[in-house]
């Protein structure tokens, strides 16, 4: 997609939101599609890790993925092919990446990389044409790593990172980028420098990021409440303070103008912070995306964010009340 078109698709939603438009004549250009919400790890602040039962469990089928791409693929520049689970567990992952890539859509995944991988699997992953692989690893030693990535294997993650970097060098024209995501918590803040050194040795980019409190609950509660409950995880250094308590200017959350989240079962949610499909705005197996994108729930959610009168409650009403992405 040309730079001008990319610029146009990123500016357009802001113009429509600024002028108070809630019925949108365009489709989002960047979306998330959940490859599946099952996982091999049990990270304590992730609803999947907690085995939260408020979402149905499963993997998206290739047919459903194809249906989405066939309907809105021409408008898409990028898909995050993950949300509440481990994307590498979906047996159709490579097929989905290839299908999107053939249509000039960039695909990103985030993985815990804590699984045994054969050489040919690593090679196939890199040859599929992924734009970016985020690798979640919140520790620079096995002991620290295991406090968050319960059930994982630090040595395996390090080894897989090295093999990815090495294999990429062997594949001519491979453009896949790797980013080691290191979220700062109380238990790992002392290992940031070691992690940076390790990343340099491996030859991988590292992103030191702020943690989120319990990710399945955060849109339902105030920042203050989340910080109190999860204080055992909050870093001591205030520089790494988790979430902003600053009030957002005018509009607040822009996501219902810019993005959408398609769950593995076809449910459409306004953003990736929502866990359960019971808050869905519709299902792409029942209606076209075109219909859902401007249905009464989406319009009510946009009106609520803009502070306009509306009469249908959505997850965005709850979220706005608790101040998530809107300032507390």
Ligand X SMILES: C[S@@+](CC[C@H](N)C(=O)[O-])C[C@H]1O[C@@H](n2cnc3c(N)ncnc32)[C@H](O)[C@@H]1O
Total binding residues toward ligand X, as defined by CB under 6 A: 17
Q: Which stretch binds ligand SF4 (CB under 6 A): 24-32, 41-49, 67-75, 206-214?
A: 41-49
CA atoms 194, 195, 196, 200: torsion sign: positive
Return the residues of window 55-114 that contact ligand X according to CB under 6 A: 82, 84, 86, 110-112
Residue (of 131, 126, 38) closest to 83 by Cα position: 38
Q: Nearer Cβ to ligand SF4, position 7 or 150?
A: 150
Residue 188: count of CB within 10 angstroms of its CB: 24
Pairwise CA distance, residues 161 & 138, whole Å: 14
Q: Choose which of 39, 93, 158, 273 interacts with ligand X (CB under 6 A).
A: 39
Are 136 and 149 in contact by the 8 Å Cβ rule? The answer is: yes
Residue (of 314, 275, 268) closest to 291 by Cα position: 268
Are 101 and 128 in contact by the 8 Å Cβ rule? The answer is: yes
- Strand-pair category, 106-111 with 30-33: unpaired
User: What angle, 0 to 180 degrees and rounded to 10, lies between the N-to-C axes of helices 154-170 and 119-127?
Assistant: 60
Residue 48 CB, nearest approach to ligand SF4 (Å): 4
Sequential DSSP letters for 123-149: HHHHHTT-SEEEEE---SSHHHHHHHS
Q: Choose which of 17, 33, 43, 64 interacts with ligand SF4 (CB under 6 A).
A: 43
| Residue 179 interacting with ligand SF4 (CB under 6 A) | no
The entry of ligand X, ligand SF4, none near residue 181 (CB within 5 to 8 angstroms by kind) is ligand X
| Residue 276 interacting with ligand X (CB under 6 A) | no
| Residue 139 interacting with ligand SF4 (CB under 6 A) | no
Pairwise CA distance, residues 323 & 219, whole Å: 8
The entry of ligand X, ligand SF4, none near residue 183 (CB within 5 to 8 angstroms by kind) is ligand X
Residue 301 CB, nearest approach to ligand SF4 (Å): 6
Interface residues with ligand SF4 (CB under 6 A) are: 39, 41-43, 46, 48-49, 85-86, 112, 136, 219, 253, 255-256, 270-271, 273-274, 301, 305, 315-316, 319-320, 324-325
Residues that bind ligand X (CB under 6 A): 39, 43, 45-46, 82, 84, 86, 110-112, 134, 136, 181, 183, 211-212, 215
């Amino acid at each position: 997609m040309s730079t001008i078109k990319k610029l146009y698709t990123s500016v357009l939603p802001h113009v429509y939101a600024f002028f108070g438009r809630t019925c949108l004549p365009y489709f989002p250009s960047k979306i998330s599609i959940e490859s599946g919400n099952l996982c091999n790890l049990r990270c304590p602040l992730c609803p999947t890790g907690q085995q939260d039962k408020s979402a149905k469990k499963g993997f998206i089928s290739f047919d459903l993925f194809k249906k989405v791409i066939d309907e809105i693929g021409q408008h898409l520049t990028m898909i995050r092919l993950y949300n509440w689970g481990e994307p590498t567990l979906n047996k159709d992952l490579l097929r989905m990446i290839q299908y999107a890539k053939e249509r000039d859509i960039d695909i990103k995944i985030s993985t815990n990389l804590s699984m045994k991988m054969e050489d040919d699997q690593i090679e196939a992953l890199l040859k599929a044409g992924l734009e970016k692989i985020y690798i979640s690893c919140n520790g620079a030693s096995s002991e620290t790593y295991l406090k968050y990535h319960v059930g994982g294997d630090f040595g395996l993650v390090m080894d897989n990172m090295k093999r990815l970097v090495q294999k990429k060098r062997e594949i001519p024209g491979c453009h896949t980028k790797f980013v080691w995501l290191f979220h700062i918590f109380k238990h790992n803040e002392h290992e940031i420098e070691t992690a940076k050194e390790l990343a340099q040795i491996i030859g991988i980019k590292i992103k030191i990021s702020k943690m989120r409190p319990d990710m399945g609950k955060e849109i339902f509660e105030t920042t203050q409440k989340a910080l109190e409950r999860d204080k055992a995880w909050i870093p001591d250094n205030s520089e790494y303070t988790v979430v902003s308590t600053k009030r957002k200017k005018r509009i607040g959350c822009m996501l219902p103008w810019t993005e959408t989240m398609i769950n593995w079962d076809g449910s459409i949610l306004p953003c990736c912070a929502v866990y359960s499909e019971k808050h869905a705005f519709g299902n792409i197996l029942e209606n076209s995306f075109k219909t859902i994108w401007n249905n009464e729930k989406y319009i009510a959610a946009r009106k609520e964010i803009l502070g306009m009168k509306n009469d249908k409650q959505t997850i965005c009403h709850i979220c706005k009340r608790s101040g998530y992405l809107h300032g507390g």
